[in-house]
Amino acid sequence: MTRAVVNGGPSAVRRRGAGNAVLGLAGLCGFLALVEALPRLGFVSPDHLPPSTDIAAALVDEMSDAAFWTALGDTLTGWALGLFIAITAGITTGMVISIVPYLREATASTVEFLRPIPSVALIPLAVLLFGTGLRSTLLLVVYAAFWQVLVQVLYGVQDTDPVAEETARSYGLGTWARIRHVLWPTALPYVMTGVRLAAAVSLVLAITAELVIGTPGLGARIAVAQTSHAVPDMYALVAVTGLVGVLINAGARAVERRSLAWHQSVRGEVTP
Amino acid sequence: MRRLPAGLVAVALLAVAATACGSSSSGSSGKSSDGVTTVRVGVIPIVDVAPIYLGEKKGFYKERGLDLTLETSQGGAAIVPGVVSGQFQFGFSNTTSLMVARSRNVPVRAVANGVASTGKAGADFGGVVVKGDSPVKSPKDLAGKKVAVNTLKNIGDTSVRESVRKAGGDPKSVEFVELPFDQMPAALDAGQVDAAWVVEPSLSVAREQGARVVASNFVDVSPDLTIALYFTSDKLAQQDPDLVKKFAEATRASLAYAAGHPDEVRDILATYTKIPEKTVQALTLPRWPEEPDRASLERLGELGRQDGLFDEAPDLDALLP
């Protein structure tokens, strides 16, 4: 009730949504105009930052090239596979650590030690183990995304209402039933936050791996454009990675909203 | 309580196994029933490796029963471990890097020539450039200046020091900084460095932006400097000398063909690089002799020793084919 009143009702929410979209679009247009103006007015050399119209032309060129779509596919494969492995491993590991007595305390320092190690530092290891193939990308992606999910699962499970937990126990619910009906619903909002963060981090690491190691994908294509001094092409590809990031984030938010439709944070207060 | 964690652990282990295992499966070369061997070669997508792309297109490898897969990587740093671990059967690397690897007992050896300097001062495919209005007029003036090279303690700083030394300057006073080739024209333009050692296509780009060549550092080391080589691991060389021989023959044929067909070289560049057309036509191509130049390598090894890259000049008999 209160929330609906503050927002001025559902139609106001819709209007505000439309207003946000217009504002967002205006912001984007402003940014594009800035990139167009800076080189044209001589603030930066167009050799180093071409105007946005040149970048757009290069983007159209790229899109007519089959190799571009293959590269995009390679990047998305590395991203999706890595994210999937990280989520599966993160959730299972997190649940096991939370459920098995004393395991959380025993692993806490190790987790805190491993978590801040940047994935990029593992590049030499990845190359040594897997060369310049997809598995090198996966190693970096999984390592970066895994901790995002794991830590959220740990926090999520810790947030379980002790009364609900005790009630479940006193009703004789088994481990599986307690996970299913008590731990999992409590942890899910945290897990979804972890998944959303992991989805973004995975893309960053997939592109980084391609850029630095040369595994096939958009990143490797950016690197080739860079070494070839095809400056507009390079910026066009960079823009594509940004675009993919926006889509991935929008997708992750949609998944989050759907899977948490029942949760307070998404559904809000019930309006009469 | 007991059953579930076991299941979860199994899933987690499977996930880890999916990422960690199978590293041996794709590594080794596969021989199919019709006698065609799949060969993976680690290369850097630059002008220097045009002959192998051209040779593959011309069928020089196929006619010897080699099915070539060229895997591009962003630098020798990924290629040498790739070859040693068997991910690649062959790789492309600059000569100094191979000497350094050999001096640290990394089991690699050259199998075919890679690329060589044009030997013409002022018209090589690599050189030291300064801004058009720079006070630096000769390599001697580089003393005390900040010079960009793509990798420190490698062929770039070693050869630039030799240019300064030969011109009568103090090579020790040159300050080297590390920058990727493609960023050097911009860094030079912005005054972040006083000079930059660049190779094609960055050399043409820098010149187009008004930069001036003050030293042909490769030529100053030796008139026919062998700059890079194709190499393999000692292990493969012992296990499959026949494969190595075939690859070396096909590469030799490719180098000869590329040397004789510069127009086709420029055409093939468009297939694996994105160098703009006008730069492709303007750039100086390197030379692709069939054999490495031993005298130049002895000189390069000696310079590397002087600069402290390795303690003693490398044993060329162990390194060269």
Q: For residue range A116-146, list pLDDT tens digits in order.
A: 888 888 888 888 788 778 888 999 999 999 9
**CA atoms of B203 and B197, how far apart (whole Å):** 9
Q: For residue range B259-276, list pLDDT tens digits in order.
A: 899 999 999 988 888 888
Q: Please give the pLDDT value at position B1.
A: 32
The ipTM value here is 0.71
Nearest-by-Cβ selection for B18 from A85, A132, A179: A85
**CA atoms of B86 and B304, how far apart (whole Å):** 28
Residue with token string 């960053």: A204
Q: Please give the pLDDT value at position A152.
A: 92
A124 vs B: CB within 8 A: yes
Alpha helices in chain B (DSSP H): 3-20, 50-58, 76-84, 95-103, 155-166, 184-189, 202-208, 217-221, 234-239, 241-260, 262-272, 277-282, 294-306, 316-319
Interface of A with B in 195-214 (CB under 8 A): 211-214
Q: Please give the pLDDT value at position B6.
A: 39
Q: Please give the pLDDT value at position B53.
A: 92
Burial of A46 (0-12, 13-18, 19+ CB in 10 A): middle
Q: For residue range A191-238, list pLDDT tens digits in order.
A: 999 999 999 999 999 999 998 888 889 998 998 888 888 888 999 999
Q: A132, A146, A184, A215: best mutation site toward chain B, by most B Cβ within 10 Å? A: A132
Max distance between CA atoms of chain B, in angstroms, equals 80
DSSP string, B192-212: SSSEEEEETTHHHHHHHTT-E
Q: For residue range B281-303, list pLDDT tens digits in order.
A: 888 899 999 888 888 888 888 88
* Residues B15, A212: C-beta atoms closer than 8 Å: no
Q: For residue range A99-124, list pLDDT tens digits in order.
A: 888 888 899 899 989 988 888 888 88
Nearest-by-Cβ selection for B78 from A88, A132, A227: A132
A84, A102, B6 from A97: Cα distances, Å: 20, 8, 12
Is residue B10 pLDDT above 50, yes or no? no
**In chain B, % of residues over pLDDT 90:** 12
What does the block give as tokens for B19? 């990422």
Nearest-by-Cβ selection for A220 from B72, B82, B205: B72
Q: How far is B276 from chain A (nearest CA, A)?
A: 6
User: Comparing C-alpha atoms, which of B224, B242, B223 is closest to residue B232?
Assistant: B242
Is residue B78 pLDDT above 80, yes or no? no
Evaluate the CA torsion angle B42, B48, B50, B52 in order and state its sign: negative
Is residue B9 pLDDT above 50, yes or no? no
Q: For residue range A87-98, list pLDDT tens digits in order.
A: 999 999 999 998
- Find, in chain A, the residue whose alpha carbon is nearest to that of B283: A228
